[in-house]
Amino acid sequence: MKRLAFWPGLFVVGALYGTLLEWAVGSVWDMVGDCPYVYPGSHLTHSSFVMMPMWGMAGLQAAVIYLAIKRKKPAMLLWLLLLVALTFVLVLLLSRV
């Protein structure tokens, strides 16, 4: 059961961490100069809740790459192809929001 909870948990951690980091970098950049990206419809200004699933997918992709290298199993990179395909689908869905 622990193994099944790992991947959704990692998705949530990646989503939260990525969104927080994007907001922090954008906020600091805005204090120093002109931040090149702003989400006008978002309460966070320099990040968006719509982007959270993308950050979660990025966390999963990074974990698969790390585990494939650590365990020396290149076949695990096939899971990466699946995650990239799911990310493309997610981009298509989120681009309509």
Given a contact cutoff of 8 angstroms between Cβ atoms, the answer to whether 38 and 46 are in contact is: yes
Q: What is the mean pLDDT of the chain?
A: 89
- Calculate the CA 34 to chain-centre distance: 24
For residue 34, name the pLDDT band (cuts at 50, 70, 90).
confident
Domain boundaries of the chain, sorted by first residue: 2-94
> What is the pLDDT at residue 81?
95
Mean pLDDT within 40-48: 85
Bigger pLDDT: 71 vs 96: 71
Hey, how many other C-beta atoms are within 10 angstroms of the C-beta on 15?
21
- Residues with Cβ < 8 Å from 70, sequence gap 6 or more? none
- Residues with Cβ < 8 Å from 68, sequence gap 6 or more? 74, 76, 77, 80
Residue 82 identity (one-letter amino acid)? L
Mean pLDDT within 58-79: 92
> What is the pLDDT at residue 38?
83
Mean pLDDT within 8-22: 94
